[in-house]
């Protein structure tokens, strides 16, 4: 199988995507990977496996690699002898943040008839914006924390009692996120968040709350990962998460009761539903007093959360073989012909 790894993009999480794609080179043992880099100015490059190292991108050396064009059916290398197809059986969208998670790549893949593993357009809309995620979770019966929304032009007043956590609405990897424990810290935290987004969420910060991560997909049945209890710190900042994304080994399952496992997995299935078919996602949950709350949906998690699965590669191959195609619509111009006929025109 030839699996395209699509990474990079015009995003604040561009470098995280590169780290994730380099990790994939170690994760896939049997599958031939075709590495397709999207530069910050949104040009496509074919990257040889030997060049899949961070210096290729930080130095700009990727510009010496073969440039690609996207057309119906897939990517091609263009030259004097015409267009040579880059053969992929499916594309794994590994672009974090803007371009990858906001639906742009999903739309391009769909429009060009390319099989791809990633949330579809509607799923991107619901998961990329944290405010819409809360609306969606509520609609499928999954609880979320209380919140308020603040836009860049609003008066800087909040009603949520301190301490609070402040998040850009459309960003991941803890970029722009701050914990505010004293009112004197609020303005600075808002300045940081508004550097990355025009809309921010304010939620209560609850010390001692438990956090658990559940990843999975649906192929011919549910393929759920173990449940992970992430590193026990008050807050995992960008640097800690950035290093975490390079993981390619397995982790230990959380030591929790079977009842809590069922609650978390049931909540995950409610979120995934049919909306996220064709994708591998990770949901981060909070648990307090036995109640499960969705924190956020990671539609394209760091390194695809491969470390949570016993056999990630086989799951991806299985999923790629079951991807649904967009139904073809037959256009026969019957309506226009009927109008022309009524007007006596040929």
The two tokens of residue 286 are 């909070």
Please give the C-alpha separations between residue 272 and each of 130, 267, 278, 304, in angstroms, as whole numbers: 16, 9, 10, 15
Percent of the chain with pLDDT over 90: 81
Report pLDDT for 245. 52
Assess contact for 327 and 125: CB atoms under 8 A: no
> What span, in angstroms and rounded, lies between the C-alpha atoms of 97 and 180?
24
Report pLDDT for 242. 47
Assess contact for 113 and 90: CB atoms under 8 A: no
**Model confidence pLDDT, tens digit, residues 225-271:** 999 998 766 554 545 544 555 566 668 899 999 999 999 999 999 99
The two tokens of residue 240 are 């800690």
Report pLDDT for 134. 96
Give the pLDDT band (50/70/90) at residue 79. Answer: confident
Report pLDDT for 342. 84
- Region of residue 262 (phi > 0: left; psi between -120 and 50: alpha; otherwise: beta): alpha
> What span, in angstroms and rounded, lies between the C-alpha atoms of 177 and 167?
5
Cis geometry, peptide bond prior to residue 163 (ω within 30 degrees of 0): yes
Report pLDDT for 346. 56
**Model confidence pLDDT, tens digit, residues 5-24:** 999 999 989 999 999 999 99
Greater model confidence, 335 or 79: 335
**Model confidence pLDDT, tens digit, residues 313-341:** 999 999 999 998 888 899 999 999 999 88
> What span, in angstroms and rounded, lies between the C-alpha atoms of 174 and 245?
13
Domains defined for the chain, CATH in brackets = 2-118 (3.40.50.20), 125-144+208-321 (3.30.470.20), 159-204 (3.30.1490.20)
Burial environment of residue 131 by CB neighbours within 10 A (0 to 12, 13 to 18, 19 or more): middle
- The whole-number average pLDDT for the span 141-148 is 95
- The whole-number average pLDDT for the span 140-148 is 96
**Model confidence pLDDT, tens digit, residues 297-311:** 999 999 999 999 999
> What span, in angstroms and rounded, lies between the C-alpha atoms of 158 and 78?
55
> What span, in angstroms and rounded, lies between the C-alpha atoms of 311 and 119?
21
Report pLDDT for 341. 86
Report pLDDT for 340. 86
Percent of the chain with pLDDT over 70: 93
**Model confidence pLDDT, tens digit, residues 164-222:** 999 998 876 678 899 999 999 999 999 999 998 899 999 999 877 899 999 999 999 99
Please give the C-alpha separations between residue 300 and each of 101, 102, 104, in angstroms, as whole numbers: 7, 10, 13
> What span, in angstroms and rounded, lies between the C-alpha atoms of 328 and 326?
6
Question: Mean pLDDT, the chain, as a whole number?
Answer: 92
Report pLDDT for 7. 98
The two tokens of residue 291 are 């109640």
- Ranges of beta strands (E only) in 128-219 are 143-144, 148-151, 164-168, 178-180, 199-204, 210-218
Q: Which of 7-11, 34-38, 115-119, 234-238 has the lowest mean pLDDT?
A: 234-238
Report pLDDT for 259. 97
Q: Give the torsion sign (CA, 87, 93, 97, 98).
A: positive
CA dihedral (201, 202, 207, 212) in degrees, to 10, reads -20
Of the candidates 215, 214, 176, 179, the one whose C-alpha atom is nearest the C-alpha of residue 198 is 176
């Amino acid at each position: 199988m030839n699996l395209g790894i699509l990474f990079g993009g015009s995003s604040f999480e561009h470098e995280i995507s590169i780290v994730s794609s380099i990790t994939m080179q170690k994760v896939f043992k049997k599958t031939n990977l075709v590495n397709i880099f999207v530069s910050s100015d949104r040009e496509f490059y074919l990257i040889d496996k030997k060049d899949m190292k961070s210096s290729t991108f930080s130095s700009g050396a990727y510009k010496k690699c073969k440039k690609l064009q996207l057309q119906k059916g897939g990517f091609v290398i263009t030259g004097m002898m015409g267009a040579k197809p880059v053969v992929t059986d499916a594309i794994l969208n590994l672009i974090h943040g803007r371009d990858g998670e906001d639906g742009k790549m999903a739309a391009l893949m769909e429009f060009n008839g390319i099989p791809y593993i990633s949330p579809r357009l509607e799923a991107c809309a619901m998961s990329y914006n944290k405010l819409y995620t809360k609306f969606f979770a509520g609609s499928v019966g999954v609880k979320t924390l209380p919140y308020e929304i603040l836009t860049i032009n609003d008066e800087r007043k909040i009603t949520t009692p301190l301490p609070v956590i402040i998040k850009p609405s459309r960003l991941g990897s803890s970029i722009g996120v701050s914990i505010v424990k004293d009112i004197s810290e609020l303005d600075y935290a808002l300045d940081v968040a508004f550097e990355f987004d025009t809309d921010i969420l304010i939620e209560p910060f609850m010390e001692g709350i438990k956090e658990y991560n559940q990843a999975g997909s649906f192929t011919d049945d549910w393929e759920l990962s173990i449940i992970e209890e992430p590193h026990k710190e008050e807050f995992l900042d960008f640097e800690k998460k950035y290093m975490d994304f390079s993981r390619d080994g397995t982790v230990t399952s959380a030591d929790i009761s079977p009842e809590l496992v069922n609650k978390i997995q049931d909540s995950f299935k409610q979120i995934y539903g049919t909306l996220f078919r064709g994708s591998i996602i990770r949901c981060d949950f909070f648990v307090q007093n036995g109640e499960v709350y969705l924190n956020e949906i990671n539609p394209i998690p760091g390194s695809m959360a491969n470390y949570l699965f016993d056999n990630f590669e086989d799951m991806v191959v299985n999923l790629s073989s079951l991807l649904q195609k967009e139904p073809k619509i037959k256009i026969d111009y019957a309506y226009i012909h009927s109008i022309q006929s009524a007007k006596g025109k040929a």
